[in-house]
Structure 1
Amino acid sequence: MIVAEVIRSGFVESVHHGVVAVVGGASFGDVESPFFPRSSNKPLQTVGLLTAGLVPREEADLALISASHDAETFHVERVRAILAAAGLGPEALRCPADLPLSETAKRDWLRAGGEPERILMNCSGKHAGFLATCVVNGWPLESYLEVDHPLQKTLADTVSRLSGEPIAALAVDGCGAPIFAISPLGLARAFQRLVEAEPGTPERRVADAMRAHPELVAGTGSEDTVLMTAMPGLIVKRGADGVSAAAVAGVGAVALKISDGATRARVPVLLAALRRLGLDVPDLPEVVLGGGRPVGEVRAVF
């Protein structure tokens, strides 16, 4: 179904199709067929790490382990500290080398003569958490990304438990880690379980860490950080290819997928879904530019 329109100079230029799963309200589109939530799975995987015995240095580490971070200095330093506490260095990471997501951090890094590094990759916090959990359990480090590794089996079980459905398919995510297919509705249910869990449980610890440290979940000016800062009580996690999931305790949860993977439609659709849950959301227009100036917008229409 059409979930967003691109308006340029008053005319509908194009449309984006997708699905919006809502726990606590009406859903739109086929929300029961499985898909790959990409990085929106990360908070669920962090729950699995805690269940497997991960002992973070401090609760803020859980926010970064759940993150798609922008590789700002404070992100990179924390990833390095998580690894060091486990007796490891950045060379243990098996995610691909990359440059910072943040354009400012990327420019600064390149200006200083830097090159792509694994620790700069937006998933390096998750991989550091993977490695730290393997160290606690005495599991092999070199093979921690293999599907049959005890770590990945634990994470698959956790995602299945939280979503309330079996894993429909396995694939390899952009960072090299296994990614688990569930339905949009299952993803929304999982996020609701995080925010409504009892204090002190792995689920609630992850949700509380994300809410307390939104800057670690994404970065300065990034959508997840901006939304959680503006809306106390909200957890939200973006994923590649037009995915996002969010939840507020006692209100509901949302998971969405833009079918063509368009990032520009993600925020308008998410905000519209949160408004339908009765939440007061910030005005974050997705502006369409022409010649470097605003000439339109992307708006939700479902």
Structure 2
Amino acid sequence: MNGGQGTRPARPGDSPLAGAPVVAEVVRNGFVESVHHGIVVATAPDGSAPVAIGPVDAPVLPRSSLKPLQAVAMLRAGADLSGELLALACASHSGEDVHQEGALAILRSVGLGEEALQNTPDRPLEDDLRDRWYAEGRPPTSLAQNCSGKHAGMLAACVAAGWDTGTYRDPHHPLQQLVVETVEELTGDRVGAVTVDGCGAPALAVSTRGLARAFGRIASAVPGTPEGRVADAIRAHPRHLGGTGRDVTLLVDGVAGLIAKDGAESVYAVGLADGHGVAVKITDGAERARVVVTTAVLRRLGVGRDEARVAALLDELDARAAVRGHGEVVGGVRAAGIS
């Protein structure tokens, strides 16, 4: 694995992301006020890419969009996870009670407590909950942090496999080695770099094409396999994947057979039951464009074409990126170069 240590510092303009094309426009009263550059790809089961915009084979950090792949590795290690708790292991959850209680349930199922978690302490991700914690003077905790389900799942995998639980975040730990092997198998890529994620676990670099390919494989996997179990858990428990009102939760809940996962720095990955996969990376990291670009690709693949309810959901998600003037909606964010 390449941990990035000992390599020369990146120089301005080194990254292939710097040359990515415009994929979204911010429009105010018909005037294009800003643009977002990005990388967009959709893959088909036969290996083709019906949508390929920008450097789709360049390595990026999918961040939390890799969590379903990490969960596959947890199951391969022997973690006894299913249903809502497996969905939670894939989650960047909002920190609602159901999320914190679920993470604690995973830990208790293998004889561990909250103190075993090594993810960075934080307050809940959901705005109202976060504000309430500040108002009450409650300190950050690892359980409330949005990655606690993943970390609890990793610990459960370590207990099942007989691996050390005190060093589970180390890139050289057997679990993290298995995660790399699983990610490389599902994406078809070599991991280009190993970095440290915001929660403290390793963050791996793969291409957007590889990320899309992996999501297509998981979404179309045979039931009962680790990949199929992850897909089924996500579909059955979208609230545990995200949280009340979250776009990823609404998308999974509203489109039959679809799985999805958002990631920090404006990444989105989607898998369809027919084996198509989608991956989006907005290269400036701004999150307001990623859902709009993702829904544009889904429409390009025919999602919602014959289902008015699904089409309305995609429109509803787009409308969240509204541009306002004096409190009124005067524009929004629209995809560019995809339809």
TM-score normalized by the length of structure 1: 0.97
Cα distance between partner residues in 2 of 1:132 and 1:111:
34
Give, in angstroms, the shift of residue 145 of structure 1: 0.5
Give, in angstroms, the shift of residue 169 of structure 1: 1.0
Q: Is the 8 A contact 2:67 2:90 kept in 1?
A: yes
1:6 to 4, 15, 26: 26
Q: What amino acid does structure 2 have at the position aligned with 1:78?
A: G
Give, in angstroms, the shift of residue 129 of structure 1: 0.4
Give, in angstroms, the shift of residue 251 of structure 1: 5.6
Runs of 5+ in structure 2 lacking a partner?
A: 1-20, 45-49, 305-310
Cα distance between partner residues in 1 of 2:324 and 2:173:
47
Cα distance between partner residues in 2 of 1:181 and 1:113:
37
Alignment of 1:193 with 2:217, yes or no, is: yes
1:33 to 47, 55, 58: 58
Q: Is the 8 A contact 1:251 1:277 kept in 2?
A: no
Q: Is the 8 A contact 2:259 2:270 kept in 1?
A: yes
Query: Secondary structure of 1:238's partner?
Result: strand
Give, in angstroms, the shift of residue 92 of structure 1: 0.8
1:296 to 307, 319, 331: 331
Aligned to 1:69: 93
Query: Secondary structure of 1:68's partner?
Result: coil
Q: Is the 8 A contact 2:248 2:260 kept in 1?
A: yes
2:80 to 27, 42, 55: 55
Aligned to 1:46: 71
CA offset digits 1:114-172 (Å, max 9, x no partner):
22111111111000001111111221111110010011000010000000121111111
Query: Secondary structure of 2:53's partner?
Result: coil
Q: What amino acid does structure 1 have at the position aligned with 2:106?
A: I
| Greater RCO (Cα-Cα under 8 Å, separation 6 or more) | 1
Q: Summarize the alignment of residues 240-279 of structure 1 with structure 2, pairs less than 5 Å apart.
A: 240-250=264-274, 252-279=276-303
Query: Secondary structure of 1:226's partner?
Result: helix
Q: Is the 8 A contact 1:21 1:255 kept in 2?
A: yes
Query: Secondary structure of 1:120's partner?
Result: coil
Aligned to 1:21: 41
Cα distance between partner residues in 2 of 1:110 and 1:260:
29
Query: Secondary structure of 2:59's partner?
Result: coil
Q: Is the 8 A contact 2:219 2:275 kept in 1?
A: no
Alignment of 1:217 with 2:241, yes or no, is: yes
Query: Secondary structure of 1:134's partner?
Result: helix
CA RMSD of aligned residues (A): 1.2
Cα distance between partner residues in 2 of 1:30 and 1:82:
39
Cα distance between partner residues in 1 of 2:209 and 2:216:
11
Q: What amino acid does structure 2 have at the position aligned with 1:288?
A: V
Q: What amino acid does structure 1 have at the position aligned with 2:267?
A: V
Query: Secondary structure of 1:139's partner?
Result: coil
Give, in angstroms, the shift of residue 301 of structure 1: 1.0
Q: Is the 8 A contact 2:83 2:237 kept in 1?
A: no
Cα distance between partner residues in 1 of 2:41 and 2:163:
37
Give, in angstroms, the shift of residue 90 of structure 1: 1.1
Cα distance between partner residues in 1 of 2:113 and 2:69:
25
TM-score normalized by the length of structure 2: 0.86
Report how many aligned residue pairs link the two structures: 301
Q: Is the 8 A contact 1:72 1:219 kept in 2?
A: yes
Give, in angstroms, the shift of residue 197 of structure 1: 1.2
